[in-house]
Amino acid sequence: MKEYIGIASRELLHPRGLEMTHLQEILHEMLRLDLDYADLYFQNCCVESWGLEDSIVKSSAYHIDRGVGVRAVSGVKTGLAYTNVLDLAHLKEAAKVAMTISEQGGSKIVQVNQPVEKSSLYSAVNPLNDLTSADKIALLQRVDRIARQADSRVIQVNASIASAYDVILIMSTDGVTSADIRPIVQLSISVVVEEKGRRETGQSGCGARLGYDFIVQHAEKHSKEAVRQALVNLKAGPAPAGVMPVILAAGWPGVLLHEAVGHGLEADFNRKGSSLFSGRIGQEVASPLCTVVDDGTMPNRRGSLNVDDEGTQGQYNVLIEKGILKSYMQDKLNARLMKMKPTGNARRESYAAMTIPRMTNTYMLAGESDEDDIIRSVKKGLYAVNFSGGQVDITSGNFVFTTSEAYLIEDGKITRPVKNATLIGNGPEALGKVSMLGNQLRMDEGIGVCGKEGQSIPVGIGQPMVKMDELTVGGTT
Amino acid sequence: MSDFDIEKRQTCIRDILDLAVKNGATQAEADVSVEDGYQVNIREGAVDTIGYHCNENLGITVYRGQRKGSVTTSAMDWVSLQEAVIRACQIAEFTQVDPCSGLADANLMATDLKDLDLYHEWNLNTKEAVKLALECEAKAKQLDGRIKSSEGVSVFNFKSFDVYGNTHGFIGSNKDTYQTISCSLIAEQNNRMERDYYYTCSRDPRDLDDIDKVAKQTVFRTVRRLNPQKIQTQKCPIIFEADVANSLISHFFAAISGGNLYRKRSFLLDCLDQSIFPEHINIFERPHQLKGWGSAMFDSDGVATMDKNFITAGVLTSYILDAYSARQLKRQTTGNADGVHNVYVSTSDKDLPQLLREMGNGLLVTELIGQGINLITGDYSRGAFGFWVENGEIQYPVSEVTIAGNLRDMFSHVACVGNDIDRRGNIQTGSILLESMMVAGI
């Protein structure tokens, strides 16, 4: 990865005559004020997408965003300014604006450390150039064909592929000089099926920090999956309303963890005391069955990071171990103020956004139960296989997530599909009611996007099958 | 700081359109948007963050016959812009022929480009903004002993403009300002915390609520949430308080928007001239309102906007269409390429307390969480927070419940709309009383 610094410098600095020494000078200048930390974040991100509808590839868009963000941190205060013009004059101006956060003189010095040698967790390929335009069109048409051939009730297929090539360069006053190349590819498929005047929809997709090969390999599976899901929903009856046992399938239903505990364990909320997990390290916050980790080191996953957006290496962090709260997810600012260590969770949507603690890939470790035994253990309840998304109020701990494929369980058997329903619970209370865990961990297919303070970033989630003894199901009967 | 030289951008757009035509475009459209401002956040008596934002972006779409290519870029030097245009033209060689693609018809372009009074700079620097925010927080914290801490006060002060032009020769611009003060507090009792917020926003700083009101409203909204209970699973009437009621109207708009209609992804297909709401409901659009949140003389296709009714005496009288979806549906665009522009829901003469009395026993919903709306079926299921009401009087706060129903059914059973209109957004409605929904609790 050391060579990334050279690649990033050529792409981001050299075209307008910037050199590494200029960046050091600017950081040095910034430390003449009483700052605890400052960093420069250069980024050049190219995104391309192609969209199919009515069996034709109607649209393609290309987006280029480049700029540099300057951040100045003093005590609890952060100043941010940025510019789209990557030359010395604009960079100096941005630094001057960001520095207005502090008015007192300072005496710290810029540290310079050697970059760490380490191999990349993901491909450095530029996926935009990975496939010809004609092949991208052919790929989407194949998706359309497979979906329409899968069932005659399919009346509409919307499919899109997107890829991004994101090059970043970070330099900070605490000695980090780091670069990363973060490719991402994405496939999204949504179909509409119709039978006797009733219409329903099904979605599927996948993504990874890889080239288009990954999409080509998985396109057929997801085309069929979207249709299958739509057909299940076509048969769905009203969902039940009230408190009942809920079994969450392995994989994507890990959105439960993301909402029920993930956000509540981000350090900013805990430093400020606004999370219901604040000050609870060492306490029991979940059933002893639950071990939850945030893992930025999984190869090729969307949430993975060689380095986070402050240059801290991606890490494997145990958040909850056997029900006991172990640690929060940290960036440098919150770690310093909480006297803890950064954990590789500092992320920003782009150079133009504030850096805040965020999740990477968050999952629960597998348990010991056989999946069939878990289903058999429920007399009357809900089996939730897939979800369309969720949200949490981290202060009260109330979280929701909405099913996109779910079934009734009656007398230990999965009986009939039910319509989309929102499930609602309260973080630690809900995790305290986890009574069985499947013996197989599954991760999501690479479609997770997390929103916080208006910033969207890719994340991963996963879990084994989870049985919760009680959860409120928001159906209509 | 960005310069606000609109003429410079108009020239830039004309040059770009010319370049697109030289590179094989039969039609093209481009827009430049510029935003400049800051956001100040303070918390617990100190600055938390100050972010300075200045963005400039160009978007260009070219058509080669009925093939389309688009590029957006934040690299605004002329070399990068030329590259963007050429790339858009290249993309349009590959995309496939779409019979509905192309600019809106030339005769629909707006000709009246009158100023809608949307630009009123707030001469408040970041230091002054910090001071204002600190004062607001201090006022709020001393109002009630149950306020445990502050989540902070934010001040936004932004100005922006955009210029849109196309190869019909249309070119128009909008310039506006936007200011907000928002406050978020945490109250605590019996070891349980609750958070809520209040905000004021305006296009003209003279129209902002003063910080006393922001502080008082935030405290009121936060403290009233303490000690919530769950309620029994039951069917009961529901009132959506005004600031969440607009979400119901936005689901209605999503269901009658062209993109969802031609894709058959709506539960309101082919519903024109049918009753959707009860007869007492009118929903109408007034795009030319001065200082309005959605005010515009033209939409993002360059098409003239116009006054219209979406719902007249309960009946659906217009869809929400842009040029593209109109061609798909074989209709005329309604000048809503960028959505609706200032929408109002007709109200009764009842205020919220009267609405509560009309409901008798039921749930007053003040916050919704999650996105459980299936637009294709109208099925609705969301997390809710609110208050249990008996005999028209609020009894206690309610949390961790869901409300569920079907939007088609919910719309047709709107019993009453209050006159307590929330004027802070593009969709303005009072509180909405629905006859019945399923509440899932314990």
Q: Are A250 and A192 members of one domain? A: no
Last residue within a domain, chosen from A182, A199, A234: A234
The helix (run of H) or strand (run of E) holding residue B187 is strand B171-189
Is the CB of residue B55 less than 8 Å away from at least one CB of chain A?
Answer: yes
Touching B: A residues 283-342, CB under 8 Å = none
Integer CA distances (angstroms), A319 to A323, A332, A343, A402, in order: 10, 18, 11, 25
Rg, Å, chain B Cα set: 24
Pairing status of strand B343-345 against strand B427-428 = parallel
Whether A422 and A392 have beta carbons less than 8 Å apart is answered as no
Q: Are B409 and B369 members of one domain? A: yes
Burial state string for A165-199 with b = 16 or more CB within 10 A and e = fewer than 16: bbbbbbbbbbebbbbbbbbbbbbbbbbbbbeeeeb
The rounded distance, in Å, linking the Cα atoms of A169 and A181 is: 9
Last residue within a domain, chosen from B185, B206, B223: B223
Q: Which residue in B197, B115, B201 sits closest to B158, CA to CA? A: B201
The rounded distance, in Å, linking the Cα atoms of A247 and A384 is: 6
Instruction: Report the pLDDT value the prediction gives residue A427, as an integer from 0 to 100.
Output: 86
In the sheet where B315-316 sits, what is the strand order? B315-316, B308-312, B283-285, B343-345, B427-428
Q: Which residue in B59, B62, B70 sits closest to B102, CA to CA? A: B62
Q: Are A197 and A53 members of one domain? A: yes
Residue B85: closest C-alpha in chain A: A62
Q: Are A272 and A211 members of one domain? A: no
Q: Are A388 and A255 members of one domain? A: yes
Task: Find residue A61's DSSP bridge partners.
Answer: A49, B70
The rounded distance, in Å, linking the Cα atoms of A328 and A248 is: 25
Last residue within a domain, chosen from B223, B240, B268: B223
Q: Are B95 and B62 members of one domain? A: yes
Q: Are A184 and A327 members of one domain? A: no
Q: Which residue in A366, A406, A372 sits closest to A386, CA to CA? A: A406
- Please give the DSSP secondary-structure letter assigned to residue A251: S
The rounded distance, in Å, linking the Cα atoms of B295 and B285 is: 10
The helix (run of H) or strand (run of E) holding residue A269 is helix A267-271
Residue % of chain B over a pLDDT of 90: 97
Q: Are A378 and A347 members of one domain? A: yes
Q: Are B135 and B232 members of one domain? A: no
Instruction: Report the pLDDT value the prediction gives residue A123, as an integer from 0 to 100.
Output: 83
The rounded distance, in Å, linking the Cα atoms of A423 and A388 is: 12
Touching A: B residues 128-157, CB under 8 Å = 148-149, 151
CATH number at residue A133: 3.30.2290.10
User: How many folded domains does chain A comprise?
Assistant: 2
Instruction: Report the pLDDT value the prediction gives residue A476, as an integer from 0 to 100.
Output: 94
Q: Which residue in B71, B77, B50 sits closest to B59, CA to CA? A: B71
Is the CB of residue B438 less than 8 Å away from at least one CB of chain A?
Answer: yes
Q: How confident is the model at residue A276 (pLDDT cuts 50, 70, 90)?
A: confident
Q: Are A171 and A246 members of one domain? A: no
Q: Determine whether the interchain pair A420/B193 forms a contact, defined as Cβ–Cβ distance below 8 Å.
A: no
The rounded distance, in Å, linking the Cα atoms of A150 and A187 is: 18
Q: Are A466 and A383 members of one domain? A: yes
Contacts of A255 in chain B (CB under 8 A): none
Q: What angle do CA B213, B219, B221 make, to 5 degrees?
A: 100
Q: What mean pLDDT comes out for the span A388-417?
A: 93
Is the CB of residue A458 less than 8 Å away from at least one CB of chain B?
Answer: no
The rounded distance, in Å, linking the Cα atoms of B238 and B363 is: 5
Q: What is the value of ipTM here, to two decimals? A: 0.92
> Shortest Cα distance from A84 to chain B (angstroms)?
6
Domain range for residue A299?
Answer: 241-474
User: How many folded domains does chain B comprise?
Assistant: 2
Whether B269 is in a domain gets the answer yes
Q: Are A194 and A300 members of one domain? A: no
Contacts of A419 in chain B (CB under 8 A): 374, 377, 379
The pair of structure tokens assigned to A190 is 């949504």
**pLDDT surpasses 70 at A208:** yes
Residue B263: closest C-alpha in chain A: A156
Which residue in B48, B379, B401 is closest to A76 by CB distance? B48
Which residue in A60, A82, A472 is closest to B441 by CB distance? A472
Contacts of A476 in chain B (CB under 8 A): 381, 404-406, 438
A453: left (phi over 0), alpha (psi -120 to 50) or beta: left
The pair of structure tokens assigned to A13 is 């600095």
The rounded distance, in Å, linking the Cα atoms of A371 and A465 is: 7
Whether B34 is in a domain gets the answer yes
Is the CB of residue B190 less than 8 Å away from at least one CB of chain A?
Answer: no
SS3 state of residue B378: coil
Contacts of B94 in chain A (CB under 8 A): 57, 60, 133-134, 137
Q: Where are the beta strands (DSSP E) in B313-409?
A: 315-316, 343-345, 362-369, 373-374, 379-390, 393-406
Last residue within a domain, chosen from A176, A204, A234: A234
**pLDDT surpasses 90 at A418:** yes
> Shortest Cα distance from B411 to chain A (angstroms)?
16
Which residue in B43, B69, B442 is closest to A243 by CB distance? B442
Q: Are B54 and B163 members of one domain? A: yes
The rounded distance, in Å, linking the Cα atoms of A264 and A164 is: 30
Q: Are B396 and B267 members of one domain? A: yes
Q: What mean pLDDT comes out for the span A49-73?
A: 96
Question: Best interface-test mutation with A: which of B31, B34, B39, B50 has the largest number of A CBs within 10 A?
Answer: B50
Instruction: Report the pLDDT value the prediction gives residue B2, as an integer from 0 to 100.
Output: 66
Q: Are B243 and B136 members of one domain? A: no
Task: Find residue A123's DSSP bridge partners.
Answer: none
- Please give the DSSP secondary-structure letter assigned to residue B410: H
Q: What angle do CA A286, B195, A279 make, to 5 degrees?
A: 40
Whether B302 and B337 have beta carbons less than 8 Å apart is answered as no
Low-confidence residues of chain B: pLDDT under 50: none
Task: Find residue B416's DSSP bridge partners.
Answer: B433
Integer CA distances (angstroms), A466 to A341, A422, A438, in order: 31, 17, 6
**pLDDT surpasses 70 at A295:** yes
CATH number at residue B93: 3.30.2290.10
Whether B1 is in a domain gets the answer no
Q: Are B202 and B321 members of one domain? A: no
Whether A382 and A414 have beta carbons less than 8 Å apart is answered as no
Q: Determine whether the interchain pair A476/B52 forms a contact, defined as Cβ–Cβ distance below 8 Å.
A: no
Instruction: Report the pLDDT value the prediction gives residue A111, as an integer from 0 to 100.
Output: 77
Q: Are A314 and A458 members of one domain? A: yes
Instruction: Report the pLDDT value the prediction gives residue B350, as an integer from 0 to 100.
Output: 97
Q: Are A429 and A448 members of one domain? A: yes
Last residue within a domain, chosen from B203, B223, B243: B223
Q: Are B237 and B199 members of one domain? A: no
Q: Are B268 and B153 members of one domain? A: no
The rounded distance, in Å, linking the Cα atoms of A43 and A83 is: 11
Q: Are B350 and B413 members of one domain? A: yes
Q: Determine whether the interchain pair A389/B371 forms a contact, defined as Cβ–Cβ distance below 8 Å.
A: yes
Positive or negative: CA dihedral A276, A279, A284, A287: positive
DSSP string covering B312-324: ETTEE---B--HH
- Please give the DSSP secondary-structure letter assigned to residue B106: G
- Please give the DSSP secondary-structure letter assigned to residue A307: B
Is the CB of residue B236 less than 8 Å away from at least one CB of chain A?
Answer: no
Q: Are A229 and A248 members of one domain? A: no
Count of pairs with CB atoms under 8 A, one residue in A, one in B: 242
The pair of structure tokens assigned to A327 is 């640690």
Whether B363 is in a domain gets the answer yes
Q: Are B203 and B244 members of one domain? A: no
Whether B268 is in a domain gets the answer yes
Instruction: Report the pLDDT value the prediction gives residue A118, as an integer from 0 to 100.
Output: 80
Residue A96: closest C-alpha in chain B: B52
Q: What angle do CA A307, A312, A316 make, to 5 degrees?
A: 80
- In this prediction the pTM is 0.95
Q: Are B215 and B243 members of one domain? A: no
Last residue within a domain, chosen from A208, A234, A260: A234
Instruction: Report the pLDDT value the prediction gives residue B1, as an integer from 0 to 100.
Output: 55
Is the CB of residue B227 less than 8 Å away from at least one CB of chain A?
Answer: no
Domain range for residue B349?
Answer: 228-442
